[in-house]
A = this chain, B = another copy of it.
């Protein structure tokens, strides 16, 4: 099952790292504990709507842009999840390492 909190955490972490900012800095701005933000980024905790809004503010990103990134990541995850059912003989480990932007059907057919 593709879990929203995992992909959301990935996108939040990528966003923070692309800005060269630390967990400490963003957690202080978002008024959330460093440990909690870290758990959200690792997909171990669900972020409430209020907390997510605070994190977006701290990162200076619109929540709509964040969700669009998550939606794009989900498309890849959904394709990767569906691929083993469609292609008999596909190598599951090959599916698991599809990078963002790759064409899943090519990997599934390998």
Interface residues of A (CB under 8 A from B): 1-6, 46, 48-50, 52-53, 62-65, 67-68, 70-72, 74-75, 78
Shortest C-beta distance, A63 to chain B (Å), equals: 6
B46, B49, B62, B71: the one contacting A3 at CB < 8 Å is B49
In the complex the two chains form, is B53's CB within 8 Å of A1's CB? Answer: yes
In the complex the two chains form, is B74's CB within 8 Å of A4's CB? Answer: no
CA distance A64 to B70 in the complex (A): 8
Max chain B CB contacts within 10 Å: which of A5, A48, A67, A70? A67
CA distance A3 to B53 in the complex (A): 7
Contact residues in B for A46 (Cβ distance below 8 Å): 46, 48-49
